[in-house]
Copies of this chain bind each other. A is one copy, B any other.
Amino acid sequence: MEQILSSLSIATPGEGFINITSEINHWIVTNKINKGILVLFVQHTSCSLTINENADPRVLEDLSTFMKALVPEEGINPMPGRKGHIPYKHSEEGADDMPAHIKTSLTCSSLTLSIDNCKLNLGTWQAIYLWEHRSQKHSRKIILHAIGEIQNNNQLSKLSSKAS
């Protein structure tokens, strides 16, 4: 059993989804991680990681519309019967900033995945997305930390595999 720690930098053009599945699978193949678990961790508090459908892009559009209505820039949706949004106290960094922090807590900053046969053990319709919640472009860093069996053919490896 070995571990590999790396990171991925993703440029985001503003609010929306970036499919990082193939980039992660490429990293797994390059590092010859045959079987193991992979922790993905995004080092920011205004974007998140999510798993959803990889086929119809309108799934992502609806997800985005839902989140914008649930966590609007105007302020917190009031309870029924009350009028007007509740203003955000944290507002200095722009109207999209506090909603981004809330969306982050409603989704995931870390995902733990299974690797088998040198690729992510996903369902047919699943993709891993970096979900940017800010309006402007950003550079986002994702930690990739795997623990598992690395493929290599030298004698030391065979010995280790027998012993574990």
Which of A's residues lie within 8 Å of B, judged by CB? 1-3, 5, 35-37, 39, 41-45, 50-53, 56, 58-59, 61-63, 65-66, 69-72, 74, 76-81, 83-86, 88-90, 98, 101-102, 104-114, 116, 121-126, 141, 143, 145, 147-149, 156, 159-160, 162-164
Are B107 and A44 in touch, CB under 8 angstroms? no
Provide the residues of chain B in CB contact with A52, threshold 8 Å. 45, 101, 104-105
For residue A31, give the distance in angstroms from its CB to the closest CB of chain B.
15
A53 to chain B, nearest CB (A): 5
Given contacts A62-B102, A105-B107, contact A3 B36 (CB under 8 A): yes
A76 touches B86 (CB 8 A): no
Contact of A79 among B69, B101, B164 (CB under 8 A): B69
Q: Which 9 A-B pairs have the closest CB atoms?
A: A43-B123, A58-B89, A114-B145, A58-B90, A51-B109, A112-B112, A1-B1, A45-B53, A59-B90
Residues of B within 8 A of A41 (CB): 112-114, 121
- Assess the B69–A147 pair: CB atoms within 8 A: no
Max count, chain B CB within 10 A of own CB: residue among A5, A50, A107, A148: A5
Asked if B164 and A2 sit within 8 Å, CB to CB, the answer is yes
Alpha-carbon distance A84/B69, docked complex (angstroms): 13
Sampled A-B contacts (22; CB under 8 Å)? A1-B2, A5-B121, A41-B114, A41-B121, A43-B123, A45-B123, A52-B104, A58-B89, A59-B98, A62-B88, A62-B102, A69-B76, A69-B86, A72-B79, A78-B80, A109-B111, A110-B113, A112-B112, A114-B145, A121-B143, A156-B162, A160-B164
